[in-house]
């Protein structure tokens, strides 16, 4: 009562918060429901299209039908979208307790591709072996610092005969050591291994030249125009403020800035808890940051296909 939550855990915290707002801000509850549906649809669409694209391009096109037409590739992609959707429905219906774990792991595992993307776009020093071994280290680190860490000893013990008399104990660090998300631990060890292997390895002159051409080509195609480069420091500053203060560690400032979260009579404006006002304010700030980066700085400026073809021929020769 009086805005104080009782017997809160990670499963009922969000529903209890929404129930607190049902009387004071029913319009926001409806908006949250719409946002939740939109988030699920956009995330699901991205996962399904990515999976079908990987299967179509990396397996079907590369090994099964190298001469496949665009129509055949589209058909293959649509088939696998349907397949992965059916698989998702089956898992959701049969293994309800695993949905949250799989969703969290999907994000943490996907984040481990970041060094590969950074290597393609910015750091030609990253070698192929470095990125691959870093990815392996990141995936292992995520697994050992997320929900599976609680069941790993049981799985290992299931394969140990009783007469050996040895059993694995629970891993001492548990889930999210030092309150750092598994994606953070994964990317930490991922980058360490990627950098270490890349520095210890060597690249041939031909490989270095090929990478330099690709990086120069990407810079020529998508680089910021010279007259907008003066905005880069401000762009970095706005982005860091948004990340750190909007939904990063400094977001705790918003817990009590506008009102007492335990006294609903003080909630405002719009009858909302202080943190919600803070988050909505930085949602608006984030929209401004995205506009600044995409439109004003020009990061989303479309590149004419003719210009891409011209630059491709310039850097790699005509095809």
Name the residue ranges covered by the structural domains of the chain: 1-94, 99-202, 226-300
Contact in structure between 3 and 264 (CB atoms under 8 Å) = yes
Tell me if the pTM is above 0.85.
no
| pLDDT, position 1 | 46
Contact 5, 19 (CB under 8 A): no
More confident call, 131 vs 19: 131
Task: Residue 231: name the closest of 151, 155, 291 by CA.
Answer: 291
DSSP state of 57: I
- pLDDT by residue (tens digit) across 252-306? 888 888 888 878 778 777 778 888 889 889 999 999 999 999 999 888 888 888 8
Q: What is the pLDDT of residue 4?
A: 64
Give me the pLDDT at residue 290, please.
Answer: 94
Whether pLDDT at 3 is above 60: no
Identify the pLDDT of residue 10.
Answer: 67
Q: Are 293 and 239 in contact (CB under 8 A)?
A: yes
Cβ–Cβ contacts within 10 Å for residue 113, how many? Answer: 13
From the number of C-beta atoms within 10 Å of its C-beta (0-12, 13-18, 19+), residue 240 rates as exposed
- Residue 23 class from Cβ within 10 Å (0-12 exposed, 13-18 middle, 19+ buried)? exposed
């Amino acid at each position: 009562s009086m805005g104080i939550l009782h017997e809160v855990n990670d499963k009922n915290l969000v529903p209890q918060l929404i129930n607190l707002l049902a009387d004071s801000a029913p319009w926001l509850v409806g908006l949250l429901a719409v946002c939740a549906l939109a988030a699920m649809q956009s995330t699901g669409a991205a996962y399904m299209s990515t999976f079908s694209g990987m299967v179509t391009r990396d397996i079907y096109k590369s090994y099964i039908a190298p001469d496949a037409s665009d129509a055949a590739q589209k058909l293959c992609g649509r088939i696998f979208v349907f397949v992965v959707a059916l698989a998702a429905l089956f898992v959701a219906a049969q293994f309800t307790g695993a949905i949250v774990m799989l969703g969290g792991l999907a994000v943490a595992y996907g984040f481990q591709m970041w060094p590969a993307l950074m290597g393609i776009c910015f750091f030609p020093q990253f070698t192929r072996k470095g990125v691959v071994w870093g990815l392996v280290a990141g995936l292992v680190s995520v697994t050992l610092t997320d929900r599976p860490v609680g069941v790993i000893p049981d799985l290992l013990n299931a394969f140990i005969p009783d007469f050996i008399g040895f059993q694995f104990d629970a891993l001492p660090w548990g889930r999210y050591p030092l309150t750092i998300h598994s994606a953070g631990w994964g990317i930490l060890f991922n980058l360490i291994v990627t950098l270490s292997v890349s520095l210890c390895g060597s690249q041939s002159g031909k490989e270095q030249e090929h990478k330099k051409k690709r990086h120069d080509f990407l810079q020529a195609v998508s680089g910021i125009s010279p007259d907008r480069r003066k905005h880069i420091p401000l762009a970095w500053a706005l982005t860091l403020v948004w990340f750190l203060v909007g939904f990063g560690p400094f977001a705790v400032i918003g817990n009590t800035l506008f009102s007492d979260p335990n006294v609903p009579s003080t909630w405002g404006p719009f009858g909302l808890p202080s943190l919600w006002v803070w988050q909505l304010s930085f949602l608006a700030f984030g929209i401004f940051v995205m506009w600044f980066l995409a439109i004003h700085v020009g990061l989303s400026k479309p590149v004419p296909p003719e210009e891409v073809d011209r630059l491709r021929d310039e850097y790699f020769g005509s095809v």
